[in-house]
Amino acid sequence: MYHENIQREQFRGEAVTLKNFIQSLQLHVQLTTPTEDQINRVSQLTFRTNQFNFTTIRRSESEIRDWLRKGGRECLVASVSDRFGDYGLVGVLFYETTPSRIMVDTFLLSCRVLGRGVEHQLLRDLARKAQCEGKKFIELLYRPSESNSPALDFMNSLAANFTTLEAGALSIELPVETLVELQYDPDEKARPGAASRAKPLGQKTSGKRATWFGSLNRSEVMQRIGDELSDIDRIAKAVEEYRYLDESTRASVRD
């Protein structure tokens, strides 16, 4: 996986625009109902994912199963791959249904695929599912935390009107007929008033070429360590690969 990440970053450095980079990645996103052996991974993501996590609700495996036992509740998981390899199961949606709407309880996405339009496709696919079931609206809930501003930025890109709830929580209601056509254009200028705190992963940085660690700020590094580097051997390997690329970059500058 780490070698694949290095290839992606090198490829990003050679792309003319971010849009060209994303199109050339040939992303494939599959949204399905989780199997029993995927529940553990779903639980892990609820605990580990902090940046793109609308409500930061943490759930154990037993809590997930208990939550799903109530009628009208569903879970979908997103698996993502591209031309370089498989990201694995990186996204989760928990939601409740009523005759007219889908109310999203949890919407989270691993930072390893942020800024590539995956979040847009998940919401679009959910909207198309809602349309097939005769629903008119999708309702998103956001609860602020210390690090989940990327989720708020995404909400801001969808709509400017929010309903303010208790403790700073926000809710937006979006028409299904609009969301079924949702597209991501990374080269489009931000709307006036839209939040701009989050910087998509993979975006070009000034100076040396982006690498596994070098293109991320500290919080993003810690998030990736939680997601991908689960033992000391993997951490050491990632550090060595970073050093190798960093030394190669400095050598090319000297030449």
DSSP sequence for 115-142: TTTHHHHHHHHHHHHHHHTT--EEEEEE
pLDDT-based confidence at residue 134 (cuts at 50, 70, 90): very high
166-202 pLDDT, tens digit per residue, is 888 999 999 999 999 999 988 774 333 333 333 332 3
Secondary structure element (H or E) that encloses residue 105, with its range? strand 101-109
The residue among 168 and 228 whose pLDDT is bigger is 168
Q: What is the pLDDT of residue 217?
A: 43
Closest-CA residue to 163 (of 178, 148, 174, 153): 174
| Count of beta carbons in the 10 Å neighbourhood of residue 237 | 13
Instruction: Give the domain CATH number at 99.
Output: 3.40.630.30
* Contact status, residue 58 vs residue 48, Cβ threshold 8 Å: no
| Count of beta carbons in the 10 Å neighbourhood of residue 83 | 13
DSSP 8-state secondary structure symbol assigned to residue 53: B
Asked whether the CA dihedral 171, 177, 179, 183 is positive or negative, the reply is negative
Q: What is the pLDDT of residue 171?
A: 94
- Most confident stretch, 17-26, 171-180, 199-208, 246-255: 171-180
Token digits of residue 246: 């960093």
Token digits of residue 120: 């847009």
Helix (H, G, I), strand (E, B) or coil at 240: helix
CA distance 52 to 147: 9
pLDDT-based confidence at residue 240 (cuts at 50, 70, 90): low
Instruction: Give the domain extent around 228.
Output: 2-254
What pTM value is reported for the model?
0.71
Cα-to-chain-centroid distance, residue 139: 18
Beta bridge partners of 141: 171
Q: What is the pLDDT of residue 174?
A: 95
Q: What is the pLDDT of residue 121?
A: 96
| Count of beta carbons in the 10 Å neighbourhood of residue 82 | 19
Q: What is the pLDDT of residue 228?
A: 53
Comparing 78-87, 177-186, 233-242, the range with the smallest average pLDDT is 233-242
Is residue 210 predicted with pLDDT exceeding 90? no
Is residue 115 predicted with pLDDT exceeding 60? yes
Strand pairing report for 28-32 and 170-175: unpaired
CA atoms lying within 13 Å on the CB side of residue 41: 19
Domain count, the chain: 1
CA distance 236 to 255: 29
For all residues of the chain together, what is the average pLDDT? 79
